[in-house]
Structures are given as C-alpha cells and as structure tokens.
Chain A
Amino acid sequence: MAHILAERYAFRCRCIRPIFNSEVKSDKLLAVAVNPRERCGHEGAATIAPVPAEPDAAKHQQFAAMRRKANAKIPEWLLFILPYGALWLTFLFGPLLFGFFISLHRWDPLRGNAFVGFENYAVLFARARFWNSFAVTWQFVVLVIPGVVLVGLLAAIALHFGRFRGKSAFESLLFFPYLLNVSIISIVWRLMHDPSIGIIRPLFARLGIALPPLLNSATWALPMVALTTIWWLAGYRMIIFRAAIASIPADLYESARLDGAGPFRTFFAITLPLLRPTLLFALVVTTVGGMRTFGQVIMMTAGGPGVATEVLALYMYRLAFDFADFGRAAAVGFVLFLMIFAVSMVLVRVLKLKGDLR
C-alpha cells in the first residue's frame, strides 16, 4: 500500500515541485540535485508561475527565428557541452589516448622510443605479479564498498530517525576524517599500527588479545587499509544519504503510519526505494574510487608485506617511477581504465541506473 502511495506521490510531486522547492533548505536542494527522480520536466510548471505576456510577441518571434537560423549550423547540444567538453578533451580524453599510444611502445625518450605493438600487454599478462595486483585490487574493492556504503547508510538512518543526545557530535566525528588529506589519514593509521609505538597492539593486549603486527601480515594488511579507507570515506557518504533521506517528504511516512506500517515496513517500502538512485550512485562512485586506490596503500604498506597489498595503481607507479618502464606502466594504466569503464557500464546498465539518472 505504502509503496503505491510513494509511486503516486512521485508523480504528483512533479506539479507541486516549484512550490516545494522554494521552501526547502539548502541541504535539501543538494538532495534534489542528487535525487534525479525529483527533477521536474513537467510542462505544466509554467501554469503555476505564469510568464507575463510578451508585449510585442511578433517581434519576439522574428528575433527567435533569426537566432534559430544563425545557430542552425552548430547544434545546440554542442554549445552546451563545449566548456566542460574542452576541459574533458584536454585533460581526460587526450591523455587517455596518449597513454594508450605510450603503452604500444618501449618508451624511453632519451634513448629513443620503439613501437612494439601489444608486446607490453603480452608481457604483463604473463607476469604473476600483474595478476596478483589485479586480484588485490578486486579484493580491496570487495572489502571497501560494503563498508563505506553500509556505514554511511546506517549512520544516516540513525541520525535522521534516531532520538539521542550528541547527534551533531556524532555526525561531526563521522564526517571529520573526510576533511583530511589521504597522506594524513595514512600516516596516522600507520603510526597507530606501529609495532613499537602504535596504540592498537597495547590496547588489544590489555583486553587479553595478542595481535600480530597487522600491517605486516599478509592476511590482515589489506583489510586494515580497507578499514582506514572506510573510516575516511563513510562520513561523506553519510552526508549524501542524509540529504537524500531528508528530501523524502514527511507525509509519506505519515500515511504509512496511518496505514499501520511498522518501522521495518516503512524502511523497506518508502526509505529504501526512494534512496535507490542515491545508493546506486554511491555504489558506482565507491567502486571506481576503490579500483583507483593508491595513496593509502603506498603510505601505509608500500604494497607489502611482499606484494600482499600491491594494487594495480601501485604496480603501475612502480613500473613507471622505480623502473622507468613507462610503456608497461601505461599498459597497466590502460587495463585499469578498461576495467573501471567496463564495471561502470555494467553497473549503470544491469542495475538500470541509467533510467534513474535521467
């Protein structure tokens, strides 16, 4: 019952949105931007705020026709994407193509570059260390995504619906790590793990648990880096989720309560379906971020012990900056790009995110 209401409301809201919009606070405006289902494409909006009649309608039409004629050669969409498009071409797409070009060479500008076709890729695919990095990257993503999204979501729900003291302190504490630079969070956590001066081992020793040096353990090092990442990023997701939850109109909950829905039913029938676009968006962004992870790993473990935490981005860095093997490093970079691109596409299509982002 309640989810039917939600559907109906979502339709109805299109018409009242201009009014609704003017009343929401700034954090709710953010939610409107994040929650595309709220976007109003309804033609009828003009009837709520009627445009004053044009005094000289004929002249106006004439101008409009002239402008149309002048713009006929340049499609409008091109003009709209031009500012960002220029930056995208220069700083993203251009380097991507150049990276692919480098990956087809033995790249050594001082001694002379040599075209080698796909040899760099063939060499990498035959290396155990490459496949280790590939596997480690995926393990890291699998550890980080549920952590970041779940902690963020649960905290947002607790903060929105919960009644307890110290709410804003809790919110600040959770959000605070996100304000810190990756090098700071890595150094802080590395020091906490330090076997001689760190705080973690003595703390657990007091509880009667003898921990091994976790960052030096092939089993624990990657989960510890993931934990640091969750601590770092969950607060930001929490803010996004909170904004999305806050943008769900209160009368939906009221109707649900009148219909006799309990808190669980309310959550699964109202909160979760209306959060869907935000959740999926967070999923994609966290996955992409997780696959590109570099800073935490190089500063907390430098890929060690052995190669237990050597993610693809770090392996690429090693090839380029330790061995000056830029051709193969570019090949790793391109593989990483293809991987991220493929995963993003799969998430967008399979999870029908595209429809939600429209």
Chain B
Amino acid sequence: MLRMRVVLLSVLVLLVPALIFAGGAREPEGPIELRMNTLFHGGDAQAMQMIVEEFNSVHDDIQIDLTQGSWTEYFAQLNNAVIAGEAPDIGIALNFRLHDIYPALTPLNDSPAGNLLDTYGFRRNDYVEEVWDLATFDGNQYAIPLDNTMLGIYYNKDLFREAGLDPENPPQTMEEFVHAANALRDAGYYAFHPGAYGQARWYRRMWYVNLWQMGGELLDGERAAFDNELGREALEALVAVPARGWNEPGTNGAAQFDAGELGMLMNGTWHYLDMANVDFEWGMMGVPRWFDNRHTWGSNHYLVIPKQSGSDAERRVDAAAQAIQWMSENSHTWGIYGGHVPLRRSALENPELRNSDTWEKSLGMFTDMAFSGVYKPLPNHPSINEINAAIEPYIEQAYNGTMDVNTAISRAAADVNAVLAGN
C-alpha cells in the first residue's frame, strides 16, 4: 500500500511541472509583450508613461513594457544590446545621434516583416520633410520623426512685477533684455540662467544660440568655422551673464526657477511639465532677438525599431511598427503632456492640441518658432556628437571664469578640427 502511494506521488510530482511547461508552450496565442526603452527622464518620462499606459489600455493584442531614464549611456547601451541580440523592440533616437546609431536600427522599408512604411502607411509628406530626411541613409528609412524640442525663455511673472517690469511684454531685443535682467538683479533675485540644469552641454547650446544669432556657423565643411571674432563675441555674451551679476557659475537654473528665485530661465519645451507644480505665475517668451537673427537651439526625437534577432523577429518587428504608428498618429498627446512640437502634420493640426493649456502657455509659441526659421538645426555632420563634446568643456570653463574667452575659442576650434581630421 505504502509502495503504491510512493509511486503515485512520484508520478504526480513529475507530472505537475510537465503540465505547467506544456501549458507555457501553448502560450504565444496571448498578447505580444514589447519592450520599449527610452532616454527620457523627468517630465518627458512621465509624458511617455502616460502615452504607453493609454496604448496598453486600448490594445489587447500588444502590450508595451516601458523602461526609461538613462540619457548619457542610452545610445551605447542600445548599440551593445543589438550586438548581444537583446535589443528592446521600440527605442528613441535623437537627430544628432542618428549617424552613430543607424547601423543598429531596422530599416523600416526593408524589415524582416517587409516594407513597414507601406504596411502601416508612414509617408514622408505626412511629416516635416527635412526631419524625415535626416533619418534616411543609403535610400533606407531608419526612423519616424516624433517631435521638435527647442530652447526658449521661461519667466516668472510675479518677479517681473516685483522688479517693476511688465509681465505681459517680455523683452524682445538685447536692450530690453539687459534692462529686464538688471531690474531683476537689483530687486534681489537671480536674473537669468542661460544653462537649464547647469551641465556643460547647456552652456554650449546657449553659445550656439548666440553664435547663430550673430550670423556665425559651427562648421565650414570639414573645419571649425568659429575661430574668429563672431565665436569670441558669442562667448563674451555668455560670459557676461555671471559678470553682470545675473547669476553665478555652478548653479542649476531649473531648480532656481522652480523655487521662485530666478526671473528668466533658458530651458527646453519639456520644462512645461515642471510648471504644473509651481506657486507663481509664469510665461514663456520664446527667444529674444539678441543679435541680428532670431535663432534657437533644438533637437528632434524619433521613434525607432532596434535590429531584432531570434525566430520571432518578424512578428515583433511588425507589432513594434503597429505601436509606432499608433504613437505617431496620437503624437498630439506627446505635445499636450510633454510640451514638444509634434512633427506629424495631422497631430499638429489636432484640435485637442490647439485648445490645450500647453498650447496656450508655451507650445503655441514653440510651434511658431519651429516653422518660422527660429529653430536652427545642428549641422548634419556624422561626427556632430563628438564635435559637441569637444567644445563644451571650454565653454563651461569660460563661463566659470577659469579660462579666458580667446583661449577657450581657439582650443575648442583646435579640438573640433582634430575630431574632423579623424583624431
């Protein structure tokens, strides 16, 4: 009897896992789970989270598992994940990283699941064509444009009033700007922060804005084009910010602004989301015409499908394209939640977007800037990322007052020329 029980029990013990695994093997009929990995953090990440949650709630057959947060290592990680055959199904690319990253992406017109552009109706003229074309390499399309981000000046209307300025007429010229900043400083506040969160890259971008407004350029073919009077004057204008007592080096402008201690902050479209939680009245003035031409720095995000391996690549790539199509068609929500200018024309015309609070507060102005030539794209050079990185330590040191402007510009130019020469 006992022996019988032992045998029965053993059979049962062996059978249960077998049944479970057999059940598991039949599973693929359920929803496909896609992994989406982005470089968004802060407000952007919240906005993308909302969009993905919305996607998941209206789809039964596809579910997206979202991971976000790392900005600096994002592209190297994406690259390595593709090499290791572990790439996420959906990713994000930036215009100035496309040259580095496109070999790791699925060509959308020639994917394991066929021509996805045809299948899901992605057409070049549905988007801003120049931005679409930046993602075209050797006739293949590697990415779908999502947005245009830009830098503009957010200002604290309460502090404007306190400094005796008219909050409804923010400065438009250099003269008005200097007047406003001096008034804010004299009222006892930080007047202006040119560098968003205070990392070197933000000062470098502000210097680009000055350079472009003065009519200067970053590159002339394969040479640095800023080792001249324009480059130096553009940097002098940036260094004037701490020199005039408008702010001090080493500070985080976004934190100062959100705490109500800063009058004017140069920051991107995404700062709209921070503004939901502040207890003062604010506005966004775009960028003043500081010099000859009104220009600002910005970038583009794209939706991409990293290269997939494995037996179910066809199915996953197809599902990823379906998800990207939905996100692109609904990218007005990315505008409403995230504050960025969507680049799909239908989304840009969406009445929900046009009537949103975001549009009224900041996005309307940014959209004007995007389509009136104020937004100036970075040079479309294969080494643009390394060029940026070569410049920024010198700009930061000049801003900190630890290197003089002439030395900073000539060293930055020498380093850029070394990058361009392949060294």
Instruction: Give the complex CA separation of A129 and B76 in angstroms.
Output: 21
- State whether the Cβ of A304 lies closer than 8 Å to any Cβ in chain B: yes
Which listed residue, A126, A128, A306, touches B400 by the CB 8 Å rule? A306
- The interface residues of chain A lying within 8 Å CB-to-CB of B252 are 194, 196
Contact present for A196 and B255 (CB under 8 Å)? yes
Complex interface bits, A294-327 against B, C-beta within 8 A gives 1, otherwise 0: 0000000010111110000000001011111000
Which listed residue, A110, A111, A195, A322, touches B250 by the CB 8 Å rule? A195
Instruction: Give the complex CA separation of A94 and B26 in angstroms.
Output: 41
Q: Pick the most buried of B77, B250, B255: most chain A CB atoms within 10 A of its CB.
A: B250
- State whether the Cβ of B348 lies closer than 8 Å to any Cβ in chain A: no
- The interface residues of chain A lying within 8 Å CB-to-CB of B385 are 322-323
Instruction: Give the complex CA separation of A305 and B72 in angstroms.
Output: 17
* A325 to chain B: closest residue by CB: B386
Contact present for B83 and A110 (CB under 8 Å)? yes
- The interface residues of chain A lying within 8 Å CB-to-CB of B256 are 196
Please classify the interface of chain B as helix (H, G, I), strand (E, B), loop, or mixed, using the class held by over half of its residues.
helix
Complex interface bits, A26-69 against B, C-beta within 8 A gives 1, otherwise 0: 00000000000000000000000000000000000000000000
Contact present for B386 and A216 (CB under 8 Å)? no
Contact present for A126 and B402 (CB under 8 Å)? no
Instruction: Give the complex CA separation of A108 and B322 in angstroms.
Output: 30
- The interface residues of chain B lying within 8 Å CB-to-CB of A318 are 389
Instruction: Give the complex CA separation of A111 and B261 in angstroms.
Output: 50
Instruction: Give the complex CA separation of A306 and B248 in angstroms.
Output: 16
Which residues of chain B from 231 to 263 have a CB within 8 Å of any chain A CB? 248-252, 255-256, 259, 261
- The interface residues of chain A lying within 8 Å CB-to-CB of B250 are 195, 212-213, 215-217, 305
- State whether the Cβ of B312 lies closer than 8 Å to any Cβ in chain A: no
- State whether the Cβ of A127 lies closer than 8 Å to any Cβ in chain B: yes
Quick check: which of B143-151, B166-174, B390-398 contacts chain A, the rest being far away? B390-398
Q: A218-B400, A322-B72 are contacts. A196–B393 as well, Cβ < 8 Å?
A: no
Contact present for B82 and A110 (CB under 8 Å)? yes
Q: A110-B82, A324-B75 are contacts. A306–B394 as well, Cβ < 8 Å?
A: yes
- State whether the Cβ of B368 lies closer than 8 Å to any Cβ in chain A: no
- Shortest C-beta distance, B87 to chain A (Å), equals 11
Instruction: Give the complex CA separation of A197 and B259 in angstroms.
Output: 11
Contact present for A218 and B402 (CB under 8 Å)? yes
Instruction: Give the complex CA separation of A322 and B79 in angstroms.
Output: 11
Which listed residue, A127, A213, A320, A323, touches B249 by the CB 8 Å rule? A213
Contact present for B200 and A304 (CB under 8 Å)? yes
Contact present for B248 and A305 (CB under 8 Å)? no
- Shortest C-beta distance, B223 to chain A (Å), equals 19
Contact present for A307 and B259 (CB under 8 Å)? no
- The interface residues of chain B lying within 8 Å CB-to-CB of A305 are 200, 249-250, 396-397, 400, 402
* A215 to chain B: closest residue by CB: B250
Which residues of chain A from 120 to 151 have a CB within 8 Å of any chain B CB? 123, 126-129
- State whether the Cβ of A109 lies closer than 8 Å to any Cβ in chain B: yes
- State whether the Cβ of B12 lies closer than 8 Å to any Cβ in chain A: no
- The interface residues of chain B lying within 8 Å CB-to-CB of A197 are 255
Complex interface bits, A260-296 against B, C-beta within 8 A gives 1, otherwise 0: 0000000000000000000000000000000000000
Contact present for B104 and A126 (CB under 8 Å)? no
- Shortest C-beta distance, B256 to chain A (Å), equals 6
Which residues of chain B from 81 to 100 have a CB within 8 Å of any chain A CB? 82-83, 100
- The interface residues of chain A lying within 8 Å CB-to-CB of B415 are 128-129
Contact present for B389 and A323 (CB under 8 Å)? yes
Which 8 pairs, one residue from A and one from B, show the smallest C-beta to C-beta distance? A216-B250, A213-B250, A306-B397, A321-B76, A110-B103, A306-B393, A218-B402, A321-B73
Beyond A213-B250, A216-B249, A307-B393, 5 additional contacts (C-beta under 8 Å) are A196-B255, A217-B402, A218-B400, A306-B200, A322-B72
Interfacial residues, chain A to chain B (CB-CB below 8 A): 108-111, 123, 126-129, 194-197, 212-213, 215-218, 302, 304-308, 318, 320-324
**20 cross-chain CB contacts under 8 A:** A110-B79, A110-B103, A123-B423, A127-B418, A128-B415, A197-B255, A213-B249, A215-B250, A216-B250, A217-B250, A217-B400, A302-B200, A304-B199, A304-B396, A305-B200, A305-B249, A306-B396, A306-B403, A318-B389, A323-B385
